[in-house]
Amino acid sequence: MAVTIRGKALELPIVQGGMGIGVSLERLAGAVAALGGMGTLSAAFCGFREVDFSTNPREANLRALVRQIGRAKEIAKGAGLVAVNVMVAAAQYADSVRAALRAGVDAVVCGAGLPKDLPGLAAEVGNEDAALAPVVSGGRSAALICKLWDRRYGRVPDFVVVEGPLAGGHLGFSPEEAREAQAGRPRPLSALLAEVLESLAPFREKYGRDIPVFVAGGVKSGAELRRYMDQGAAGVQFATRFIATEECDASSGYKQALLDAEAEDVTIVQSPVGMPGRALRSPLIRRVEAGTQPKITRCDRCLAACDCKTAPYCISKALIAAVEGDWENGLFFCGANAGEVNTLSTVKEQMDQILNEWRTAP
């Protein structure tokens, strides 16, 4: 059942997805790792609680990231793996990767764009031990990143996360594909997994080692974990279900918003990142839909491609409002099955449930 990732053993085939801003920090990531899984912090504006965040957000983020990685590893006590998720679209992408690697993180996972230069950043820092992984939406993007890394750096990913259209947060699919998935017509994860496995085969052969693949996006149970593992996956990434845990770093208000949500409250939004996303239909989203959301008055340039003059809202402020439980002004990212999460639990209870379902699956 254990998976070897860059020479380190992941005892349980369970990855906790990175959730920002501030939803998965040291408490959640450390708790998942302590039980043998991969706990993932989100680097997105992770210094929002620092005293100098409003005046010096970039330094505050990097300082907080280093501290949070250290605390997560202390909580993990040598078990599991502690990873950090860094958005390629973030203005601080490269600096966050460097800071995480210097802090001794076990893995760097990058989504919201293809991390074409990730191995170069690791070499620059001199950290050859950390695992490097892209989040992809199918075989084409997996093959592209492998070809680039192979040609430029003589390296391929240490693992890959393939995220389907039912995932929460930013999606590597068109708005139409995301809405089709929300309407109950998603492209099957099994098909995406098969695509990615096929695209990785030549690189596994060339490098003489496995490239584990974890599937993500709409996975509900340990029974599905078993099914995907039978189809060739190394494991599964879960995210939304870990929000409703005591250890989750989000406020009780965020957790309650998730617990109160029904299936019809989950919608597709257009993010200033330039990608569609999945979130709860909060008052903020309703104002954006109605064209009544106030214009942005201040911009910290947190996203490389965001134009504050045309963006429908400030995503960093909306995500900070959400993690603090501000239902009126928050952007509450979640997976497609958020309406099925209705009980507050603990990380251990969630992990035990997944594993029990895995063991008893037919």
For the chain, the structural domain boundaries read 3-251+343-360, 252-338
Give the C-alpha separation, 85 to 40, whole Å.
Answer: 6
Q: Grade residue 195 by pLDDT with cuts at 50, 70 and 90.
A: very high
- Give yes or no for residue 301 having a pLDDT over 80: no
Q: What residue has token string 């990212």?
A: 333
Element (H, E) at 60: helix 57-76
Judged against a pLDDT cut of 70, whether residue 272 lies above it is answered with yes
Percent with pLDDT over 70 in the chain: 91
Tell me the C-alpha distance between 44 and 58, whole Å.
Answer: 11
Residue 73, pLDDT > 60, answer yes
**Mean pLDDT of all residues belonging to the chain:** 90
What is the percent of the chain with per-residue pLDDT over 90, rounded to a whole number? 73
> Which of the four pLDDT bands, split at 50, 70 and 90, describes residue 182?
low
Q: Which residues are CB-contacts of 256 (< 8 A; sequence separation ≥ 6)?
A: 325
Provide the token pair at 331.
């952007």
**Mean pLDDT across 140-145:** 96
| Location of structure tokens 């037919």 | 362
The count of C-alpha atoms lying within 13 angstroms of the C-alpha of 328, restricted to the half-sphere facing its C-beta, is 0
Q: What is the mean pLDDT of residues 349-360?
A: 94
Structure token pair of residue 279: 């979130």
Q: What is the average pLDDT across 122-139?
A: 93
Question: Which CATH architecture is the domain 3-251+343-360 placed in?
Answer: Alpha-Beta Barrel (3.20)
Give the pTM. Answer: 0.93
What's the mean pLDDT in 215-240?
Answer: 94
- Cis-peptide into 268, omega within 30 deg: no
Long-range contacts, stretch 142-151, CB < 8 angstroms, 24+ apart: 142/195, 142/196, 142/199, 142/200, 143/199, 143/200, 144/114, 145/114, 145/115, 145/116, 146/199, 146/200, 146/203, 148/114, 148/116, 149/118, 149/119, 150/203, 150/206
pLDDT at 175 over 70: no
> Where residue 270 falls among pLDDT bands split at 50, 70, 90?
confident
pLDDT at 354: 95
Which amino acid makes up residue 6? R
Looking at residue 276, what is its pLDDT? 80
pLDDT 10s digits, 12-68: 999 999 998 999 999 999 999 999 999 999 999 999 999 999 899 999 999 999 999
pLDDT at 166: 84
- In the predicted structure, residue 306 carries a pLDDT above the cut 60: no
